[in-house]
Amino acid sequence: MVLSKMSSQSDVSVHSTFASRYVRESLPRYRMPETSIPKDAAFQIINDELMLDGRPRLNLASFVTTWMEPECDKLIMDSLNKNYVDMDEYPVTTELQNRCVNMIAHLFNAPLGESEAAVGVGTVGSSEAIMLAGLAFKRKWQNKRKALGLPTDNPNIVTGANVQVCWEKFARYFEVELKEVKLTEGYYVMDPEKAVEMVDENTICVAAILGSTLNGEFEDVKKLNDLLTEKNRATGWDTPIHVDAASGGFIAPFLWPELEWDFRLPLVKSINVSGHKYGLVYAGVGWAIWRSKDDLPDELIFHINYLGADQPTFTLNFSKGSSQIIAQYYQLIRLGHEGYRNVMENCHENAMFLREGLEKTGRFEIVSKEIGVPLVAFSLKDNSQHDEFQIAEMLRTYGWIVPAYTMPADAQHITVLRVVIREDFSRTLAERLVLDVSKVLHELDTLPVRLHGKVAVVEEEAAAAAVVVAAGEGGSGAVNGTFLKKTEIETQREIMIYWKNFVANKKKLKNNKNTIC
């Protein structure tokens, strides 16, 4: 977090339980302690606090890998102390990254000759890859405009309003206007026709997503390529396409190899993919791949020689760990095409199983597609009594982390829940989740009617007054002048529901841009 905030204003110490065997005094929470403590105590204190974090494998909010084989864990541990940037000292690690770049470029059908090397780089994730790809487009566009004596002060990029927040970051950090195609109810990806209409002479590229973060749907890159080719022909421009395949890049080639979305389409000049999503590596690796050398302007590549031989670098950061690159190489050779296909088929089947289970409740509208990232995004058919935020909150009590969020403009009135299916999400877990969702629905249904009535009224009231009513009455509430006894859990739920609605409304009002990954 950039702007840190204090989790506790009153308690400025970190207390420990079992660590009291080693230390008797509390540690200051927000100041570095004056003295050292034994290593066992430091371990125990941190370990105890971390127990309160969620359990990664039950975190169904994230695409990011939470399980790898113990053999790969060992390789990761053994390379934790290698700085990737010291390429002269660790030439084998550099060679492994180059092998990964080439394997992925071939997977994306880069037009490479038999012995031609692919153009690409390992990054910390798709966000960094997108910044690099965006910079390459911006620089190419500037160079071309300068050569023609045309102004270069107003570049823009065309995307759907469903883009991940990293595109907004790119636009703001690197001063490029983001022109977003708005969504509509029932259509939650970029419409290629509208996107091409928005393209003008200042458009550095159109970014299509292979696997929208919001509902997993693949955008129609082929149609975009065809329409843009026509527009380029008519105008004389050469607006290119970038594909943000953060999730889909490791899914489509194995499940739908015939789908044309990659370098088979001539206007696709660069592609990013997250190694740490369906590339099946823990957090910290992504890839940016260019179609050819011509698509990556030379002036963006820096050459350093103080670590040994001349080393080209094109990354935003300098130092970084080597483990994730090594882990990616492990997965690529360990699984091969066959292994990745098996994993993706399994994820897809589990997603279909979950989808059916949720449909059978009769309460949900499914907003994800069968072809796409293996996830299930769903909305309540009727959210007048209780909403998706309440379901997400109540699922937490069963240990599940399932996010609820509103869609971006112009579909911001639609709220969805999203369950991402990763390799480690088994059929048994899917069965369990369907059961728990049904229990949550039942619990919500059996809440006294007065609760829903009251929540609706409370929403109209000022926040502070309402909280006092909910908490201060200590377990009793009046309905039509009659006081009914509430159990403790009912009171807790009432407060929770109030706050969920309050926060949800604030969120809806404030900003509809999702920051989910």
Chain residues that interact with ligand PLP, rule: CB under 6 A: 63, 125-127, 164, 166, 209, 211, 213, 244, 246-247, 274, 286, 517
CA distances to 88, 102, 163, 399, 457 from 416, rounded to whole Å, are 49, 38, 16, 19, 24
State how far the Cα of 235 lies from the Cα of 199, in Å rounded to an integer. Answer: 11
State how far the Cα of 381 lies from the Cα of 383, in Å rounded to an integer. Answer: 7
What is residue 416's three-state secondary structure? strand
Name residues whose C-beta falls within 8 Å of residue 341's C-beta, 6 or more positions apart in sequence. 254, 255
Name residues whose C-beta falls within 8 Å of residue 45's C-beta, 6 or more positions apart in sequence. 14, 16, 19, 27
Question: Position of tokens 């059929």?
Answer: 427
Name residues whose C-beta falls within 8 Å of residue 496's C-beta, 6 or more positions apart in sequence. 390, 393
Residue 89 beta carbon to ligand PLP: minimum distance, rounded to whole angstroms: 27
Mark 340-363 as b/e (b = at least 16 C-beta within 10 Å).
beebbebbbebbebbbebbeeeeb
HSE-CB of 156 using CA atoms within 13 angstroms: 16
Residue 26 beta carbon to ligand PLP: minimum distance, rounded to whole angstroms: 36
Residue 216 beta carbon to ligand PLP: minimum distance, rounded to whole angstroms: 9
HSE-CB of 253 using CA atoms within 13 angstroms: 23
Residue 166 beta carbon to ligand PLP: minimum distance, rounded to whole angstroms: 5
- Report the residue number whose CB is nearest to ligand PLP: 125
Q: Which is nearer to ligand PLP, 125 or 240 (CB)?
A: 125
Let me know: does 363 contact 23? Beta carbons within 8 Å.
no
Name residues whose C-beta falls within 8 Å of residue 116's C-beta, 6 or more positions apart in sequence. none
Q: Which is nearer to ligand PLP, 244 or 494 (CB)?
A: 244
Pick the closest to residue 141 from 76, 212, 237, 63 (CA basis): 237
State how far the Cα of 485 lies from the Cα of 355, in Å rounded to an integer. Answer: 39
Residue 517 beta carbon to ligand PLP: minimum distance, rounded to whole angstroms: 4
Maximum CA extent, the chain: 83
Beta strands 203-209 and 241-244: pairing type?
A: parallel
Q: Which is nearer to ligand PLP, 155 or 286 (CB)?
A: 286
Q: Which is nearer to ligand PLP, 501 or 514 (CB)?
A: 514
Single-letter residue type at 432: R
Q: Which is nearer to ligand PLP, 44 or 322 (CB)?
A: 322
Q: Which is nearer to ligand PLP, 130 or 358 (CB)?
A: 130
Residue 287 beta carbon to ligand PLP: minimum distance, rounded to whole angstroms: 10
Residue 14 beta carbon to ligand PLP: minimum distance, rounded to whole angstroms: 30
Q: Which is nearer to ligand PLP, 62 or 492 (CB)?
A: 62
Q: Which is nearer to ligand PLP, 279 or 477 (CB)?
A: 279
Q: What are phi and psi of 384, to 5 degrees?
A: -75, -30
Residue 495 beta carbon to ligand PLP: minimum distance, rounded to whole angstroms: 32
Instruction: Respond yes or no on whether the N-terminal peptide bond of residue 410 is cis (omega within 30° of 0).
Output: yes
Q: Which is nearer to ligand PLP, 210 or 440 (CB)?
A: 210
Residue 8 beta carbon to ligand PLP: minimum distance, rounded to whole angstroms: 29
Residue 408 beta carbon to ligand PLP: minimum distance, rounded to whole angstroms: 13
HSE-CB of 332 using CA atoms within 13 angstroms: 21
Q: Which is nearer to ligand PLP, 105 or 517 (CB)?
A: 517
Residue 151 beta carbon to ligand PLP: minimum distance, rounded to whole angstroms: 30
Q: Which is nearer to ligand PLP, 93 or 272 (CB)?
A: 272
